[in-house]
Amino acid sequence: MNAVDIGSLAVNFKRGASPFSALDLEDLRVEEGECFGLIGGSGSGKSTLLRVLAGLQRDWSGGVRLLGRSLEVKRAFTGSLRREVQMVFQDPYASLHPLHRIRRSLREPRQINGLPFDERSLIASLDQVGLPGEVLDRFPHQLSGGQRQRVAIVRALQLQPKLLLLDEPTSALDMTVQAEILNLLQARRQDTGMTMIVVSHDIHTVAHLCDRGVVIKQGRIEQRLDRNGLIERADGQAW
């Protein structure tokens, strides 16, 4: 089964009097268990696509199936899709409540989804991304950008998603931590069979993680890349 099956997908935003086409895609499929990369310049529509797939951008047209279910325009996700699809945002400030301590930001999604909350296993998960247990008592503004990003990754993974949408997941991390997080994500995907869609400016990150991908330009698919295509493109581009 395809985890994501887009027959067509268009998103228009208002810009002054005329509509602006942020996304106009056809024929994009991501297989279950696959890591799929979205590459493209700033403003090309990468985050917009992930926001549609996360159920956050609900004004779109086309035909989109996610984990075997058809999405409905202007409808929030219901039922198991709310847990099964998780997104790590480009700006983790946007996803962590500024007035809630990290403990609460991690506990509440589990409780809402009927999963037990066990502080010890949570501390073990934080340790996997190189964070000490004491971050649980802090507020988001008391963490660095890279620490927030890692909290957001723990928060998404702890819900055992079937589809994980990662928007520049390691952009705020230094090279060493970045490699650790990417390896963790890869290992988790291999263990659980979850599907990942990774947005990155950095072709090397995508080539390291992904089986296939597309280059998006001005909301359209410019190029489709298989594993070799990703590697070739990364080799042609210096770090």
Are 31 and 195 within 8 A, CB to CB?
Answer: yes
Segment 1 to 40, residues that bind ligand ATP, using CB under 6 A? 13, 22, 40
Stretch that binds ligand ATP, among 42-50, 79-87, 123-131, 143-151 (CB under 6 A): 42-50
Choice from 4, 39, 47, 158 touching Mg ion (CB under 5 A)? 47
β-partners of residue 197 are 36, 165
Q: Does 178 bind ligand ATP (CB under 6 A)?
A: no
Q: Which is nearer to ligand ATP, 21 or 113 (CB)?
A: 21
Q: Which is nearer to ligand ATP, 31 or 202 (CB)?
A: 202
Q: Which residue is nearest to Mg ion (CB)?
A: 47
Q: Does 60 bind ligand ATP (CB under 6 A)?
A: no
For 130, the 3-state DSSP assignment is coil
Handedness of CA 31, 90, 11, 57 (dihedral sign): positive
Q: Per-residue string for binding with ligand ATP, 64-103, x by CB under 6 A?
A: --------------------------x-------------
Q: Supply the minimum distance, in Å, between the C-beta of residue 10 and ligand ATP.
A: 12
Choice from 25, 44, 129, 148 touching ligand ATP (CB under 6 A)? 44
Q: Does 200 bind Mg ion (CB under 5 A)?
A: no
Are 107 and 76 within 8 A, CB to CB?
Answer: no
Please count the residues of this chain forming the interface with Mg ion, following the rule CB under 5 A: 2
DSSP string across 77-127: --TTHHHHEEEE-SSGGGTS-TTS-HHHHHHHHHHHTT----HHHHHHHHH
Please choose which of Mg ion, ligand ATP, none residue 42 contacts, taking the beta carbon within 5 to 8 angstroms, the exact cut-off set by kind: ligand ATP
Residue type, 14: K
End-to-end CA distance of the chain: give it in Å, rounded.
35
Distances (CA, A) of 74 to 24, 48, 58, 103: 18, 15, 5, 32
**For residue 178, which of 156, 212, 208 has the smallest C-alpha distance?**
208
Question: Where does this chain bind ligand ATP (CB under 6 A)?
Answer: 13, 22, 40, 42-48, 90
Question: Where does this chain bind Mg ion (CB under 5 A)?
Answer: 47, 90
